[in-house]
Amino acid sequence: MSIQRDDLIALALGVLSPQEEARVQSALQADPGLLAEYNSDLAALHALPELLPPGQVPPGAADRLMARLRAEAQAAPPAIPLPPAQPQEPSAEVDAGRRPWTLGLGALGLAAALALFFALRPPTDPLTRYAGMPGAVSQPLTGPDQTQIGQVVRLQDGSAFLYLSAAPPEDRVYQLWKIEGGAPVSLGVIDGQGTLVPEAPNGLTLAVSVEPPGGSEQPTTTPILVQQL
């Protein structure tokens, strides 16, 4: 089963047909190396919005990018039909002709594919963005009084996005901790109300405390959140 890098990019962007997605997913399950490569690309895609400066998508950007993709697809060589009596694994050229969408992704490269993703699905708030990713599962976060104080979104690559509904008090920050052997281990200060946790396996216990700017070596206040994923 031949899997191209374009297939991995298209799967990460959620633009494959159900049949193509099943084909690629099957190949990922059969090849640990390919799965690791896909997870690495997916993690980079998830982290990219946090690295970009705030901004608005220019008017008409999505239409211009789609027009460029269509032009790339139309410029692709026509499909070469396979002999009906000799079915075989399609070559890269045949596959490209059969699936002009992924050819367009390959011709434009990863940067253009990501640009298309953000142009067609412009980021609003980060919680909505992460919750809308393929395979994402949301879980409420509850405080000591069992009221909901936020959400955590578990992602396919094993990471999680944690978001608190309210901003921290003035001149204070949220600090994230994981609990190991009953002791808190700092995962850093949360920039605002949300943060991406790169490794969030089942059973991980997370805690959030309110700390002075810059954070603390150990929690200095009673955690507002202690929850197992």
Looking at residues 108-135, what average pLDDT do you find?
Answer: 64
- The predicted model scores a pTM of 0.49
Residues 204 and 221 in one domain: yes
Asked if residue 204 and residue 148 are part of one domain, the reply reads: yes
Name the phi and psi angles at 11, rounded to 5.
-65, -45
CB 126 within 8 A of CB 194: yes
- pLDDT at 9 > cutoff 50: yes
Residue 117 structural domain: 5-123
**For all residues of the chain together, what is the average pLDDT?**
76
The strand pair at 194-197 and 225-228 is best described as unpaired
Residues 150 and 112 in one domain: no
Tokens of 133: 């990713």
Q: Are 140 and 151 in contact (CB under 8 A)?
A: yes
Query: Are 119 and 10 in a shared domain?
Result: yes
Instruction: Work out the widest C-alpha separation in the chain, in whole angstroms.
Output: 74
Smallest CA-to-CA distance from 105 within 96, 20, 52 is with: 96
What's the pLDDT tens digit per position in 177-221?
Answer: 999 988 999 999 998 899 999 888 999 999 999 999 999 999 999
- Does 118 share its domain with 13? yes
